[in-house]
Amino acid sequence: MRWPKQELLTVKLPKARKTKWSVTAKVYKGLLLLDCFYDTVKKGRYVIDPEGRHEFFSEKWKVCGIEYATEGWYGWGPRPDQERDSKIIADFCKWDEKRAIRGIEMMEFQYNNAKLKRAHERKYARIKARMEKIPQLPEKFLLWIEGYFQDYGLKFEGKDLYYCTACNRIESGKIKAGKKTICVGGKTIIGTRRKEVIQKEKFLLLQDCGDQCVARYFDVVARYTKDGVYMSRVESIRMLMGKTGERPLSIFYGQDYRTDEDQQWWDTNPRNFRWGSAYCFSDGVNEALKGTRYDKLGIPFMAAKGWKLQYNNLMANYPVAGAYEYIAKMGLERLLKEETENRLSIYGCYTDLWLQGKTAEDVLKISMQRIHRLKAANGSQCYLKWLKLEEANAVFQYKIPEETIRFMDENKIYPSDLNFIRDRMTDAKSAHFIERQMKQYKKNASYIIDQWKDYLSMAERLGLDVYDEIIFRPKELLKRHDSLVEEINSVEEDEQAEAMKTKFPKAEGILKRIKAIYEYEGNDFIIMVPTTIKQIMADSKELHHCAGASERYYERIEAHETYIMFLRKKTLPQRAWYTLEVEPGGTVRQKRSEYNRQPDLQKVNTYIKEWQKNLKDRMDEEQRILQEESRLKRIAEMDQLKESENTRDNQLYNLLSGDLLEVI
C-alpha cells in the first residue's frame, strides 16, 4: 500500500501547547494522524492504519516508529497534548487512555513482528526446498567415519586390569599408555591411564546434486568410557556450489547440535560452527566437483590419500590454488597441510610459493635435486625454507647437511631465526650448539634461541666482544645469561633511571596523572601506580625480569598504549610481587612475578577482575578514548604474531593471548 502523502499532509490538526515532545491527534479516512511537536515546533506527521502499518513524514525520516519519530529514546517519550488527543488515540488503538501512546507502540510491534515472521517463513521455505534436493548419506560414508576412531584400553580399578572398548569388557594384562597393543580379543587398542577418552574429528562429504554440488561438513565426537562408546554426529555446515560458470555459492549453517537427519538450516551461524581441517570421503568426489570452479584443485587425489586438510581454504582460493596439485602428487602431505591451514584462508592467499608455476620447480622455487630431498623427508614449510636458503647461496657452494635441516625442521627453527648469529657460526654449528643446550637445560629450541639472543644483546650492552667465540658460544648459556642479568641490574640505578628519564621525559608525568584513577586496595591485594622510572627499575630488579630495563615499555607509556603498575600483597605492600602491563581502561596484557613466574594465579586473576569492575566508575573521558585506541593496537599486534611464519612469534602469541585479561 502506498500512502497518499500529499493528501495526508494537507489535513489540518490542532497545534501543540505543551513543551518537550507532544502529539496532537485526528482520525482521517480510517487512519490515525499525529502531528509531532518539540517545544510547540512541529517536527513531522505520523500516520498509522488499523493493521499497524505506519510511516513518519518529515525531511529527515521516511519510515519509523512513533517513539523514534519523536526521539523517545531519551526516556521521556511523546505525550498527548490534551485529553482530547489521548481519547482519539486510545479509541483508535483500543487501549487505555492514560497510556495512549503505548497502544500505538503495540500496534507497531504486532505489525512488524507479523511482517518479519512472514518473511522468515518464506525464506525458510526456500532453504528447506533447497535442502530437500540434497542426497541421503551413503551407508559407506558412515562406515568410513567409524574407521577413523581408535578403540582404547581404559584404566580400571586394579593393578593389571583395563577396560577394552573394542570388546566391551574388563581384561587382565599390562598395557602401556600411548602405545598400540593387541587385546585379548585380538583387536588393536591404544593404552591410556585415563578412565575416559574423548576423540573429535571433522569430515567432509562432497555430493553431486545435479545442477550443483554440495560440500557437507560433519563434527563427530566419540566418547569412550567403561559404560560403552558413545558417538555423536552433527552436520554443521553445508556449502552449495553451482555448476554453471561463476554462479555464486551459498553457505548454510546448522542451528543446533542435532543429528544431520533433523538439523535446521539457515544462513546465520549462532553456534559458531567452523570449517577446520577435515578428512574428505573420496567416493564420488570427481562427479561432485565436475563442472564447478573447484574441479582443477586436485581434491580427488588428496581425498584418496586420506589426508586431513583445510579443504575450505583451498577452495576459497580456487583461482590460484591449482598449483597445490603439484605438491599433493609429490606426496608432500606435511607441506600441503601447513599451506592449507596457515597460508590460505577465506580472506586470501599468503604463500611464498609461486602458484602460477607450471612445473614443480617453478612452484617450489628450488631445483629438482632439492625437491627429491624434500620428498624423501616429507618436508614442511620450515624444511623448504632451509632448502631455499641453500639454493640462494648455491653460487658460493653453500651446503647445509641433511641432519642439520632435519633438526631445524623437527624443532621449527627457521633460517630467519638464526640471522643474528650466521655471521659468526655456520648453521650446522648453531644446530649442534642449540641441541647441546636443549639437552643440558631440558628446554625447547625456541626458548634456547630467545635466551641466546637476549644474552648477546646484554653482552654487547656491557661492552663485551660479542665476536669472540668464548663470548658468543658459552658452554653454559642459561647460566651466563642469568649472570649478565644480575650484572646489568647491578648497574647504578640512578644513572640508569636518569638515562631513561632523559630519553622518555613524559613517562613519569603520565604515571602521576593516572595514579588517582588506577590505584585500588582490596581485601588481600593492592594495585599501585609507580610515579618514577627508578621505582619501575627497582621492582624489575627485585623480580628478575626485563620490564624495567626494556625501552619498549616506556615507549608505550608515552604513547598511552600501556602503563606499568605493581600488584602487591596487602600484608607486604613494600615488597615487590607482581608487575602488570595495563592498557588504558584496565585490560591487563601481562602479569609477571619473580623470574616471570605467576604464583597464586587464580586469586590474582579474581582480584584483577574485581579491580577492573571498580575501575569503570573512575574512568575519565580521556582514558575511555585511549582505551579503544590501545585495544585496536593490541589486536593488530596480536594478529601479526598469529599470522607470522616464525614459530617464536606464534609461541609469543599463545603466551600473550593466554596471559590477557580483557575488560568485559
What are the tens digits of pLDDT across the range 11-47?
999 999 887 888 999 999 999 999 999 888 988 899 9
Contact criterion met (CB below 8 Å) for 630 and 585:
yes
Q: Quick one: cell of 337?
A: 597441510
Amino acid identity of residue 181, one-letter, is: T
What are the tens digits of pLDDT across the range 396-422?
778 899 999 999 999 999 999 999 999
Domain ranges for the chain, please list them: 5-113, 139-295, 308-398, 411-490, 497-659
Q: Quick one: cell of 368?
A: 629438482
Q: Classify residue 126 as exposed, middle or buried by CB count within 10 Å of its CB (0-12, 13-18, 19+).
A: exposed
Confidence of residue 506 (pLDDT cuts 50, 70, 90): very high
Helices 427-441 and 445-461, packing angle to 10 deg: 110
Nearest of 9, 13, 55, 6 to residue 37 by alpha carbon: 13
Q: How far apart are CA 197 and CA 223, in angstroms?
A: 6
How much is the pLDDT for 387? 94
Whether the pLDDT of residue 471 is over 80: the answer is yes
Q: Quick one: cell of 328?
A: 599433493
DSSP characters for 71-83? TGGGSS--EESSH
**Mean pLDDT to the nearest integer, 468-478:** 94
What are the tens digits of pLDDT across the range 180-225?
888 888 888 898 888 889 999 999 999 999 888 999 999 999 999 8
Q: How far apart are CA 605 and CA 658, in angstroms?
A: 12
Other CB atoms within a 10 A radius of the CB of residue 626 amount to: 19
Nearest of 10, 113, 103 to residue 50 by alpha carbon: 103
How much is the pLDDT for 246? 57
Confidence of residue 485 (pLDDT cuts 50, 70, 90): confident
Q: Is the dihedral of CA 310, 315, 316, 322 positive or negative?
A: positive
* Kind and range of the H or E run holding 35: strand 31-38
How much is the pLDDT for 89? 94
Contact criterion met (CB below 8 Å) for 280 and 303:
yes
The secondary structure of 14-68, three-state, reads: CCCCCCCEEEEEEEECCEEEEEEEECCEEEEEEEECCCCCEEEECCCCCCCCHHH
240: left (phi over 0), alpha (psi -120 to 50) or beta: beta
Query: Please, which residues bridge with residue 172 across strands?
Result: 161
Q: Quick one: cell of 464?
A: 663485551
Q: How far apart are CA 299 and CA 278, in angstroms?
A: 12
Q: Classify residue 382 as exposed, middle or buried by CB count within 10 Å of its CB (0-12, 13-18, 19+).
A: buried
Q: How far apart are CA 50 and CA 48, in angstroms?
A: 7
Q: Classify residue 565 as exposed, middle or buried by CB count within 10 Å of its CB (0-12, 13-18, 19+).
A: buried
Q: Quick one: cell of 137?
A: 548419506
What are the tens digits of pLDDT across the range 318-371?
888 888 988 999 999 999 999 999 888 878 888 888 888 888 889 999 999 999
Q: How far apart are CA 473 and CA 196, in angstroms?
A: 48
List for the chain the helix, strand, coil content (%; round to 5). 45, 20, 35
Nearest of 192, 193, 220 to residue 205 by alpha carbon: 220
Percent of the chain topping pLDDT 70: 96
Average model confidence (pLDDT) for the chain? 89
Q: How far apart are CA 531 and CA 510, in angstroms?
A: 8
Confidence of residue 663 (pLDDT cuts 50, 70, 90): confident
Q: How far apart are CA 332 and CA 15, in angstroms?
A: 81
Local structure of residue 135 (DSSP, 8 states): P
What are the tens digits of pLDDT across the range 301-323?
999 999 999 999 999 888 888 88
Contact criterion met (CB below 8 Å) for 88 and 28:
no
**Cα angle for residues 402, 403, 404 (degrees, 5° grid):** 90
Q: Provide the edge-to-edge strand list for the sheet that holds 188-191.
A: 169-172, 161-164, 152-155, 188-191, 180-182
What are the tens digits of pLDDT across the range 629-658?
998 888 888 887 877 777 777 777 888 888
Other CB atoms within a 10 A radius of the CB of residue 358 amount to: 10
Whether the pLDDT of residue 558 is over 50: the answer is yes
Please name the residue that has the C-alpha cell 570427481. 286
Q: How far apart are CA 484 and CA 489, in angstroms?
A: 8
What are the tens digits of pLDDT across the range 119-134?
999 999 999 999 999 9
What are the tens digits of pLDDT across the range 54-96?
998 886 656 678 877 666 544 456 789 999 999 999 999 999 8
Confidence of residue 504 (pLDDT cuts 50, 70, 90): very high
